[in-house]
Amino acid sequence: MRDRNELPTPRIEGEILSSSNLKAFTFNDLKNATKNFRPDSLLGEGGFGHVYKGWIDEHTLAPSRPGSGMVVAVKKLKPEGFQGHKEWLTEVDYLGQLHHKNLVKLIGYCSDGDNRLLVYEFMPKGSLENHLFRSVCFISM
């Protein structure tokens, strides 16, 4: 019997990812969408990787020219990250099933060799973390 808090072991990659309602992007798709991951497309970075601004067609979800189509946030995970491939597959599977007005929507993913990327809807006002923990200037008297 499995512990309640333990995630189920993922099935094979194709079975999990093809059963979700997520778009499977190629690495080249996301390179094109983010202008080749150029520094001017970088939105932020953290322990698990970098987040880039990208553009995709609203209907086909194919990469589009910068400034046209739908803006997305592309999270490029570090290959040496703490998360293993099975855990990543499980996370993608669950995130693809979650839909709530207070959650950022996962649009798609890329699993191409050592490259693991997640494509989220773009939040123009920044991350929740920035709003909760932004630095406040204090005036000393």
Annotated binding-site residue? 101: no
- Strands (DSSP E) contained in 1-141 are 23-24, 42-46, 49-56, 70-77, 106-112, 115-121
In the 8-state DSSP scheme, what is residue 40? G
d(CA 31, CA 37): 6
Q: How many helices (H) and strands (E) does the chain have?
A: 4, 6
| Residues annotated in a binding site | 76
Residue ranges of the binding site for ATP: 76
